């Protein structure tokens, strides 16, 4: 369907034409490849460590470096989208991702591999962030739920396909071939050139100092969580304090201070952040449970994860229509309860069979996909047009950080419980996640109460 729509970030002055359905599908395909790129390489770490004779700490930098740059790219591209044409940013991001992947095919030492992964992350982080910005800017509110649901289901599909495809490639073809899968994104560049609306650059400036402070701050905290370095924690906290000072003083700050005063934005964000924490922690735990507890291979473990991801894709289309027809409040009210049920079921039945895990993850995957679709859609409604880039970028940064936090705490919890049976250790972690979900339910109810007191912004 080709429609004329207003560019909301330019306050409705520019009329542009965008083929809404085709563009959303294009974004979905790109996101699947980006998320697969993130997930596939985790399965290659043992082989990389063996080929390059790396220690565990050196190998971890391949993941840590990618994660840090991906997070910063998300918020940076979102902020740049406020005054640089989105089409231009998409093309830059995809070129970094795909050209680095081609270089990765020829990475024969650790340093080159690390540089390639960091360059990939600098492009990969742009795609989910810019996709949310593009949809929020050009898709009308009455159809935005369907588009948001497709984006979130694409993330779920990428999370599901990554372990299956990555495990098969590493086992039968070698880890270098993983880069060939990601290099396919280069073929998508002409489609972005043709299909993404052409915009004129707007006046604006980039707060490099603010970006530096939040980058160092989040890096320090992530390194503390992954490597338990107290020095990194201190550096991170100092950088975040400087970031707060900076955004209050800068004329065009990297993150708008008004976002931290927007109670609805913060409470709603907490709901989505809790969902991401549960998702990342579960995707970290499930392969270990399936391999260590049930003796499955990496490929078999991926096949257990896959049905939940593919089910989320099929469900999302109908859910998008429901969001467009009835709004987000019903989903925000009830879906956290389904997420609560899934973590409790994991705690109770994780040790029974891998079939139980498959079925429970189907419930969790669908719950998280639907909830994140609704939360992202609702954020696009409550944020002012001038806040969209900064707000969505900050939300994605916080989501990513919560995911990294969930993985780090889960890994530490397994170490703390090394002297008890694995089944009990895994179950205890899910009881801990139950507390997180209960807090998110409180935030969801708090947000819904606030919407009754004031009208939503379109």
pTM, full prediction: 0.79
Helix (H) / strand (E) containing 221 = helix 208-227
Burial of 384 (0-12, 13-18, 19+ CB in 10 A): middle
pLDDT of residue 440: 94
Q: What angle do CA 70, 74, 77 make, to 5 degrees?
A: 125
Q: Which residue has the tokens 């290659």?
A: 44
Helix (H) / strand (E) containing 235 = helix 230-249
- Cβ proximity of 245 and 209 under 8 Å: no
pLDDT values of the chain reduced to their tens digit, one per residue, 458 residues: 444 444 444 444 444 556 778 888 899 999 999 988 887 877 777 778 788 887 755 676 777 778 778 888 888 898 888 888 999 999 999 999 999 999 999 988 889 999 999 999 999 999 988 998 898 888 888 888 888 888 888 887 887 788 788 878 887 888 889 999 999 999 999 999 998 888 888 887 888 899 899 889 988 887 787 777 899 999 999 999 999 999 998 888 888 888 888 899 999 999 999 998 998 888 888 887 888 888 887 778 778 888 888 888 788 777 877 888 788 888 999 999 999 999 999 999 988 899 999 999 999 999 998 898 889 889 888 888 878 778 888 888 888 778 777 877 887 888 788 888 888 989 999 999 999 999 999 999 999 988 776 554 44
Enter the tokens of residue 69.
């740059």
Alpha helices in 173-207 (DSSP H): 178-183, 189-195
pLDDT of residue 12: 41
Q: Which residues sit opposite 5 in a β-bridge?
A: 16
Q: What are phi and psi of 275, to 5 degrees?
A: -65, -45
- Cβ proximity of 90 and 126 under 8 Å: yes
- Cβ proximity of 81 and 7 under 8 Å: no
Q: Which 8-state DSSP code applies to residue 351?
A: T
Quick one: the chain helix, strand, coil %, rounded to 5? 85, 0, 15
pLDDT of residue 8: 43
pLDDT of residue 45: 74
pLDDT of residue 340: 96
Q: How far apart are CA 287 and CA 425, in angstroms?
A: 15
Q: Which residues sit opposite 2 in a β-bridge?
A: 19
Q: How far apart are CA 32 and CA 120, in angstroms?
A: 15
Closest CA to 361 of 442, 278, 249: 278
pLDDT of residue 11: 40
Q: Which residues sit opposite 305 in a β-bridge?
A: none
- Cβ proximity of 182 and 95 under 8 Å: no
Question: In terms of DSSP bridges, do strands 2-6 and 15-19 run parallel, antiparallel, or are they unpaired?
Answer: antiparallel
């Amino acid at each position: 369907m080709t429609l004329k729509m207003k560019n909301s970030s330019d306050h409705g002055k520019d009329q542009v034409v965008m083929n809404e359905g085709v563009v959303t599908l294009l974004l979905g395909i790109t996101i699947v490849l980006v998320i697969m790129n993130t997930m596939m390489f985790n399965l290659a770490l043992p082989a990389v460590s063996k080929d390059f004779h790396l220690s565990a700490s050196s190998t971890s930098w391949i993941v840590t470096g990618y994660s840090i740059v991906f997070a910063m790219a998300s918020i940076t591209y979102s902020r740049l989208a406020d005054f640089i044409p989105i089409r231009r940013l998409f093309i830059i991001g995809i070129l970094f991702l795909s050209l680095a992947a081609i270089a990765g095919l020829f990475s024969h030492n650790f340093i080159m591999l690390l540089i390639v992964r960091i360059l990939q992350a600098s492009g990969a982080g742009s795609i989910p962030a810019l996709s949310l910005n593009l949809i929020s800017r050009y898709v009308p509110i009455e159809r935005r739920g369907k588009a948001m649901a497709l984006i979130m289901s694409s993330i779920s599909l990428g999370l599901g396909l990554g372990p299956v495809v990555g495990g098969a490639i590493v086992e039968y073809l070698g880890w270098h071939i993983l880069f060939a899968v990601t290099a396919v994104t280069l073929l998508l560049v002409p489609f972005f050139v043709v299909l993404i609306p052409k915009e004129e650059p707007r006046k604006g400036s980039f707060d490099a100092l603010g970006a530096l402070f939040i980058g160092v701050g989040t890096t320090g905290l992530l390194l503390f969580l992954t490597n338990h370095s107290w020095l990194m924690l201190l550096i991170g906290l100092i950088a975040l304090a400087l970031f707060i000072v900076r955004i209050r003083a800068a004329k065009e700050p990297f993150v708008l201070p008004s976002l931290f005063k927007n109670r609805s934005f913060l409470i709603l964000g907490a709901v989505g952040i809790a969902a991401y924490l549960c998702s990342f922690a579960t995707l970290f735990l499930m392969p270990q449970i399936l391999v260590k507890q049930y003796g499955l291979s990496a490929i078999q473990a991926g096949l257990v994860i896959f049905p939940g991801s593919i089910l989320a894709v099929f469900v999302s289309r109908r859910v998008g229509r429901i969001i467009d027809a009835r709004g987000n409040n019903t989903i925000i009210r009830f879906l956290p309860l389904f997420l609560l049920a899934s973590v409790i079921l994991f705690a109770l039945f994780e040790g029974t069979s891998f079939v139980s895990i498959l079925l429970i993850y189907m419930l969790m995957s669908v719950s998280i996909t639907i909830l994140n679709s609704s939360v992202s859609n609702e954020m696009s409604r409550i944020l002012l047009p001038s806040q969209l880039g900064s707000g969505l970028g900050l939300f994605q940064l916080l989501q990513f950080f919560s995911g990294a936090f969930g993985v780090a705490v889960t890994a530490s919890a397994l170490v703390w419980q090394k002297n008890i049976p694995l089944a009990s250790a895994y179950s205890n972690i899910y009881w801990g996640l139950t507390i997180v979900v209960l807090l998110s339910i409180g935030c969801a109810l708090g947000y819904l109460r606030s919407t009754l007191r004031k009208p939503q912004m379109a």
